[in-house]
Amino acid sequence: RARVGGGVAADSGERCVALEGLLIKSFEMKRHTNVNLSGCKISRLPHALLRTFSSVITLDISSNAIAELPIRALRHLPVLQELRTAHNMIATIPSPLYLLSTLSLLDLSHNRVSFLSPDISRLPSLDTLILAHNPLPLLPSTLPLLPNLTFLDVRHTPLPPHILISLPP
Protein backbone atom coordinates (compact mmCIF):
# COMPACT_ATOMS: atom_id res chain seq x y z
CA ARG A 1 0.00 0.00 0.00
CA ALA A 2 1.21 3.50 -0.71
CA ARG A 3 0.52 7.00 0.48
CA VAL A 4 -1.29 9.58 -1.61
CA GLY A 5 -1.88 13.22 -0.76
CA GLY A 6 -1.91 14.06 2.94
CA GLY A 7 -2.02 10.46 4.07
CA VAL A 8 -4.74 8.65 2.13
CA ALA A 9 -3.73 5.01 1.62
CA ALA A 10 -4.19 3.35 -1.75
CA ASP A 11 -2.62 0.47 -3.58
CA SER A 12 -0.58 1.19 -6.70
CA GLY A 13 -3.45 0.52 -9.10
CA GLU A 14 -5.89 2.79 -7.29
CA ARG A 15 -3.28 5.53 -7.02
CA CYS A 16 -2.45 5.42 -10.71
CA VAL A 17 -6.03 5.22 -11.97
CA ALA A 18 -6.86 8.20 -9.80
CA LEU A 19 -4.23 10.33 -11.54
CA GLU A 20 -6.64 11.60 -14.19
CA GLY A 21 -9.28 12.30 -11.56
CA LEU A 22 -6.83 14.54 -9.75
CA LEU A 23 -6.91 16.98 -12.64
CA ILE A 24 -10.65 17.36 -12.21
CA LYS A 25 -10.42 17.80 -8.45
CA SER A 26 -7.39 20.09 -8.55
CA PHE A 27 -8.99 22.65 -6.29
CA GLU A 28 -8.89 20.05 -3.50
CA MET A 29 -5.21 19.24 -4.01
CA LYS A 30 -3.64 22.46 -2.79
CA ARG A 31 -3.50 21.20 0.80
CA HIS A 32 -1.72 17.89 0.15
CA THR A 33 1.90 17.67 1.17
CA ASN A 34 2.92 14.17 0.02
CA VAL A 35 2.35 12.98 -3.53
CA ASN A 36 3.37 9.45 -4.45
CA LEU A 37 3.10 8.58 -8.14
CA SER A 38 5.71 5.83 -8.05
CA GLY A 39 5.12 2.83 -10.28
CA CYS A 40 2.27 4.43 -12.22
CA LYS A 41 3.83 3.71 -15.63
CA ILE A 42 3.64 7.37 -16.61
CA SER A 43 6.03 8.83 -19.17
CA ARG A 44 5.55 12.47 -18.25
CA LEU A 45 4.23 14.61 -15.44
CA PRO A 46 1.32 16.77 -16.54
CA HIS A 47 2.12 20.43 -15.92
CA ALA A 48 -1.53 21.11 -15.07
CA LEU A 49 -1.42 18.50 -12.32
CA LEU A 50 1.77 19.72 -10.66
CA ARG A 51 0.59 23.31 -10.82
CA THR A 52 -2.15 22.35 -8.34
CA PHE A 53 0.32 20.97 -5.78
CA SER A 54 1.73 24.24 -4.45
CA SER A 55 2.11 22.88 -0.90
CA VAL A 56 3.80 19.58 -1.79
CA ILE A 57 6.75 18.74 0.44
CA THR A 58 7.48 15.24 -0.90
CA LEU A 59 7.05 14.20 -4.54
CA ASP A 60 7.81 10.59 -5.43
CA ILE A 61 7.76 9.79 -9.14
CA SER A 62 10.05 6.77 -8.91
CA SER A 63 9.74 3.66 -11.08
CA ASN A 64 8.07 5.20 -14.09
CA ALA A 65 9.13 5.94 -17.67
CA ILE A 66 9.76 9.66 -17.23
CA ALA A 67 12.47 11.00 -19.53
CA GLU A 68 12.40 14.63 -18.45
CA LEU A 69 11.25 16.72 -15.55
CA PRO A 70 8.71 19.38 -16.54
CA ILE A 71 10.48 22.73 -16.47
CA ARG A 72 7.41 24.92 -15.92
CA ALA A 73 5.92 22.64 -13.28
CA LEU A 74 8.99 22.82 -11.04
CA ARG A 75 8.31 26.51 -10.52
CA HIS A 76 4.99 25.61 -8.88
CA LEU A 77 6.61 23.57 -6.09
CA PRO A 78 7.99 26.34 -3.85
CA VAL A 79 8.15 24.28 -0.63
CA LEU A 80 9.31 20.97 -2.10
CA GLN A 81 11.78 19.27 0.23
CA GLU A 82 12.07 15.76 -1.22
CA LEU A 83 12.13 14.80 -4.88
CA ARG A 84 12.41 11.08 -5.56
CA THR A 85 12.92 10.22 -9.23
CA ALA A 86 14.71 6.85 -9.05
CA HIS A 87 14.26 4.26 -11.79
CA ASN A 88 13.21 6.53 -14.65
CA MET A 89 14.94 7.64 -17.86
CA ILE A 90 15.93 11.17 -16.85
CA ALA A 91 19.06 12.35 -18.65
CA THR A 92 19.16 16.07 -17.89
CA ILE A 93 18.25 18.16 -14.89
CA PRO A 94 16.34 21.31 -15.86
CA SER A 95 17.72 24.55 -14.45
CA PRO A 96 14.52 25.48 -12.52
CA LEU A 97 15.22 22.52 -10.25
CA TYR A 98 18.24 24.39 -8.95
CA LEU A 99 15.94 27.19 -7.76
CA LEU A 100 14.13 24.97 -5.25
CA SER A 101 15.77 26.47 -2.17
CA THR A 102 13.92 24.18 0.27
CA LEU A 103 14.95 20.93 -1.46
CA SER A 104 16.78 18.74 1.04
CA LEU A 105 16.68 15.32 -0.68
CA LEU A 106 17.24 14.67 -4.37
CA ASP A 107 17.19 11.06 -5.52
CA LEU A 108 18.21 10.70 -9.17
CA SER A 109 19.44 7.11 -8.87
CA HIS A 110 18.94 4.58 -11.67
CA ASN A 111 18.44 7.18 -14.40
CA ARG A 112 20.54 8.37 -17.34
CA VAL A 113 22.12 11.45 -15.81
CA SER A 114 25.50 12.08 -17.42
CA PHE A 115 25.95 15.72 -16.40
CA LEU A 116 25.27 17.64 -13.22
CA SER A 117 25.34 21.42 -13.54
CA PRO A 118 27.53 23.57 -11.31
CA ASP A 119 24.22 25.26 -10.42
CA ILE A 120 23.62 22.42 -7.98
CA SER A 121 25.39 24.66 -5.48
CA ARG A 122 22.27 26.87 -5.56
CA LEU A 123 20.43 24.31 -3.39
CA PRO A 124 21.35 25.53 0.11
CA SER A 125 19.09 23.05 1.93
CA LEU A 126 20.27 19.96 0.07
CA ASP A 127 21.59 17.40 2.54
CA THR A 128 21.05 14.15 0.61
CA LEU A 129 22.05 13.65 -3.03
CA ILE A 130 21.63 10.19 -4.53
CA LEU A 131 23.22 9.75 -7.96
CA ALA A 132 23.91 5.99 -7.88
CA HIS A 133 23.62 3.95 -11.08
CA ASN A 134 23.99 6.84 -13.53
CA PRO A 135 26.55 7.30 -16.34
CA LEU A 136 27.96 10.33 -14.53
CA PRO A 137 31.70 10.72 -15.30
CA LEU A 138 32.28 13.93 -13.31
CA LEU A 139 30.93 15.87 -10.38
CA PRO A 140 30.68 19.65 -10.59
CA SER A 141 33.46 21.52 -8.83
CA THR A 142 30.79 23.48 -6.94
CA LEU A 143 29.51 20.41 -5.09
CA PRO A 144 31.64 21.12 -1.98
CA LEU A 145 29.88 24.49 -1.74
CA LEU A 146 26.65 22.83 -0.58
CA PRO A 147 26.65 23.81 3.10
CA ASN A 148 24.31 21.07 4.34
CA LEU A 149 25.27 18.11 2.16
CA THR A 150 25.83 15.15 4.49
CA PHE A 151 25.06 12.18 2.24
CA LEU A 152 26.28 11.66 -1.32
CA ASP A 153 25.66 8.33 -3.05
CA VAL A 154 27.63 7.83 -6.27
CA ARG A 155 27.86 4.05 -6.22
CA HIS A 156 27.95 2.36 -9.61
CA THR A 157 28.91 5.48 -11.56
CA PRO A 158 32.01 5.82 -13.75
CA LEU A 159 33.47 8.45 -11.40
CA PRO A 160 37.21 7.98 -10.93
CA PRO A 161 38.28 7.30 -7.31
CA HIS A 162 40.45 10.44 -7.10
CA ILE A 163 37.34 12.62 -7.45
CA LEU A 164 35.75 11.05 -4.40
CA ILE A 165 38.89 11.48 -2.33
CA SER A 166 38.95 15.21 -3.09
CA LEU A 167 35.49 15.80 -1.61
CA PRO A 168 35.42 17.33 1.87
CA PRO A 169 34.38 14.96 4.69
**pLDDT value at residue 108:** 98
pTM of the entire predicted model: 0.84
**pLDDT value at residue 43:** 93
Of 20, 1, 26, 4, which Cα lies nearest the Cα of 12? 1
Distance of alpha carbon 101 from alpha carbon 147, whole angstroms: 12
Query: Mean pLDDT across the chain, nearest whole number?
Result: 84
CATH class of 2-165: alpha beta
How large is the average pLDDT for residues 112-116?
A: 97
Tens-place pLDDT, residues 81-113 = 999 999 999 999 999 999 999 999 999 999 999
Distance of alpha carbon 118 from alpha carbon 140, whole angstroms: 5
| Cβ atoms 60, 42 nearer than 8 A | no
Higher-confidence position of 88 and 12:
88
Q: Of 9-13, 19-23, 34-38, give the lowest mean pLDDT range.
A: 9-13
